[in-house]
A and B are shown apart, each in its own frame.
Chain A
Amino acid sequence: MKRFVCKILLFVLLLCSSDWILGAVFKLYDYTNRGEVHKMHVLMNKVSPQMLVLGSSRAAHHYNPRIIGDSLGLEGFNGGFDGKGTTIGYGILSGVAQRKFPDVIICDLEPSFDILDDNGSTKGINNFAPYINNPVIKTLINDFDPNAKWKMKSNAYRLNSSLLRIIPSVLSQHDDCISGYKPSYGKLKPNDGLKKTQSDPNYERKISPLKEKYLRALIQDAKKNGCKLIFSISPVYGGKDISYYQQELAIISEYDLPVLNHLNEPSLINRWDLFSDDVHLNDEGATKYSKIIANEINKLIRQ
């Protein structure tokens, strides 16, 4: 038994040492050049945009910060990430705000990622693992996983699922994250799946209290810092029933904040050539949409 226990202790010691070495060797975030790992690093450590876009892949693909920024006379950055909502957005904002709080935030709504309990989008919380020293990020991670404070002691755990993204990102010469905008270049086929997406009225949508807490925190922080927070709903191909957004809109309405609803934008939703798939505009569509939204935001800011 003694021999076994001694060997176990030796194994634990060696494992901890290897874990520490791994953490020391793979502090490579400063050297990343492309992909989501790089974009997150840039947002958490480098940029201080005057206008920040937050949201899911629909935010990342739909809002060209150059077009919107030029129109507003502000320097913009797109902080949208695939499958991420306002909770992750709040974490990103905390990173950016360490340098300067943005003057304008555009937040593209997607209830399943923002407030609903039916989606695994909060698994993306672990993307913040390298930034655990930021107190907001620490609280956020601990809120979603009470064991995180222990797990994060391991460097290997912090690198979980990231290592294979970091290495190609470091090796890449091309920086694809100038403004955070991620253009999509595909096109749908003519009349491909053109139908208005109906929401199932009997489908019970449960709100996640934690996600709701962070949506409210995002709103309150923006208000406290004098930032113009604008919510928007970008178009989907063929249009969609707005009822899907009602719960999230009800929360936002408590704060008397503007919502630019383009879910059924007539100039875009029937144009197959402007969509890369049912829910994502391609670069051409995003350019048109960005111009529309820039105009409206301009008016809102000047009010």
Chain B
Amino acid sequence: MIFNSFQFIWLFPLIFAAYWASSLTFCRGGGKKIANCFLLIISYGVYAQWSIPYTLILFGITSETYLFARIIESQKAYGRKKFIIWCGALLALLPLLIFKYFNFITDAGASALAWIGIDTAPKGLNWVVPLGLSFYTFQALGYLWDVYYKKIQAEKNFLDYMLFVAFFPQILCGPISKANELLPQIKQKKEFDYNQAVSGLRYLLWGMLLKVVFADRLGVYVDTIYADPLHFTGSSNILASIFYSFQIYGDFAGYSFMALGVARLLGYDIIKNFNRPYFATSVSMFWKRWNISLTRWLTTYIYIPQGGSRKGKLRTYRNIMLTFIVSGIWHGANWTFIFWGILHGAAQCLEKAIGLNKPVEDKLMKIPRIVLTFAIVTFAWVFFRLPSIEQGWMVIGHMFSWGKPYVDILTLSHLAIIFPLVFMVEYLMEYKKIQFIGFISKHFILRWLGYICLALSIALFGVLNSDQFIYVSF
């Protein structure tokens, strides 16, 4: 059940009603437990709807990290603890290695052997990567390390822990929650909070608009050009690359807002994964605004354990590069993602070296810095989007051939309506510090008119084919 599907529109109100009915009706006699069990069944049901056998992988990772956390907590000796955490982490990573990286590793190995004259023909696995595998694996791993670092106690209640890993609003595309944020909420008795639910609906509506109207419309143009980039002019490729930057934002932020909205409607607060990243004035700031939960995970479990910025400049640069290479690998089993990670890491090292990583206060300087950051990020997205680094360079080179851009009147006319709206909302939130989609929040009639217009815009201008979210495949 993806959020932009017809199924979600009719099923979620039923889930909402049943969840709150069970939570509120039985509040004295263990309503929390019943509601949690209900959410757990829904979460596993949502996953099983896609693939029943792969639900076992979800269950396997959950059980394994639960057990290892309990064992780690029971150990006193540091050396043994360290050994157990590494065993647990590697075991949790095993499905990810097999499903996502096996072919990549064997191909890379075969290429390396071919380079020294040994020809091998490795047999690849033709297995589909379980949906959301990278997200829930990282969430479970984060929990395991937090227990190891004694930031939290190991969870005793297995059902609560199962819900923590499989919580359906975030299982497919994140955000990656921390155990100390989500587990206490799972244990808490739920009271319906009107304001929380209303803000959840707003996020749901805005996220849907970002995905269906904004991202998927841009996707029509991007897919046309990137299907055969060299067939189109350089300006078409430039336009498609810029559009892709916005498409991936609308797609991923749209999902994250919808996840946040659904969670809030169920009485949960999860991390807001995006904070207007294209208003960032440096690549370093961009990563404080883009996929915030992943950045936080990488910072906590990769960057800081390696020494962070505490051990001199060179070590800091090494740590940044290492962190972003891991980020690249996390995104996919292809050299393009690693290269994309290297580009982001290198840009941040350079910014740090010349002091461009700090926030810009001067209003005049902000605009060129925002444009420059956007250009760097867009350049890196080209490699992220295309199947090989060679093709990425080919497209970059082809951009200089100029020529008239390909015009898709229908897509561009839709964008002429939606783009100013998205920009206006983001601008007002960034610089006027208004609350979320608060441009319609002052007067009751205007606010409701705004909601109705947004809802009708989705039906009128959206691409309603229930296309998958880009990040689901990561």
Contact = CB atoms under 8 A, between A and B. Distances in A.
**A and B pair up:** yes
B353 interface: no
Given A1-B192, A3-B194, A4-B192, A19 B456 contact: yes
Interface string B436-474: 000000000000100110011001111111000000000
B461 to A, nearest CB: 7
A161 interface: yes
Chain B CB within 10 A, most for which of A3, A123, A157, A165: A157
A300 interface: no
Interface in B188-209: 192, 194, 197-198
Contact of A18 (B10, B24, B456): B456
A19 B462 CA distance: 15
Nearest to B16: A8
B413 interface: yes
Nearest to B459: A156
A14 interface: yes
Contacts of B10: 150
Nearest to A14: B452
A154 interface: yes
A164 interface: yes
Chain B CB within 10 A, most for which of A14, A19, A160, A161: A161
Interface in A127-161: 147, 150-151, 154, 156-157, 159-161
Given A15-B456, A150-B6, A160 B413 contact: no
Given A4-B194, A123-B465, A147 B6 contact: yes
Contacts of B24: 1
A159 B460 contact: yes
B451 A160 contact: no
Interface size class of B (residues with CB under 8 A): 20 to 34
A151 B456 contact: no
A18 B192 contact: no
B20 interface: yes
A14 B197 CA distance: 19
A160 B455 contact: no
Contacts of B455: 15
Contact of A160 (B6, B20, B194, B459): B459
A79 B461 CA distance: 26
A191 to B, nearest CB: 17
A144 B456 CA distance: 24
Contact of A156 (B197, B414, B451, B456): B456
A16 to B, nearest CB: 10
B192 A160 contact: no
Contacts of B194: 1, 3-4
A83 to B, nearest CB: 11
A contact face: mostly helix, strand, loop, or mixed: helix
Nearest to B453: A18
B464 A11 contact: no
Given A147-B6, A160-B464, A164-B410, A11 B451 contact: yes
A164 B24 CA distance: 46
Contact of A4 (B198, B461, B462): B198
A164 B413 contact: yes
A230 B73 CA distance: 77
Given A4-B198, A157-B464, A11 B448 contact: yes
Contact of B460 (A1, A3, A160): A160
Nearest to B460: A156
A22 interface: yes
Given A3-B194, A150-B6, A164 B414 contact: yes
B456 A160 contact: no
Contacts of A159: 459-460
A157 B410 contact: no
B448 A154 contact: no
Contacts of B465: 120, 123
B425 to A, nearest CB: 20
A18 B82 CA distance: 62
Contacts of A150: 6, 10
A15 B201 CA distance: 15
B228 to A, nearest CB: 11
Contacts of B452: 11, 14-15, 18
26 contacts: A1-B24, A1-B192, A1-B194, A3-B194, A11-B448, A11-B452, A14-B448, A15-B452, A15-B455, A18-B452, A18-B456, A19-B456, A22-B456, A120-B465, A151-B6, A151-B464, A156-B459, A157-B459, A159-B459, A159-B460, A160-B461, A161-B414, A161-B461, A163-B460, A163-B461, A164-B417
Kindly list the 7 A-B residue pairs having the minimum CB-CB distance in the complex, ordered from nearest: A156-B459, A147-B6, A164-B413, A1-B192, A157-B459, A156-B460, A156-B456
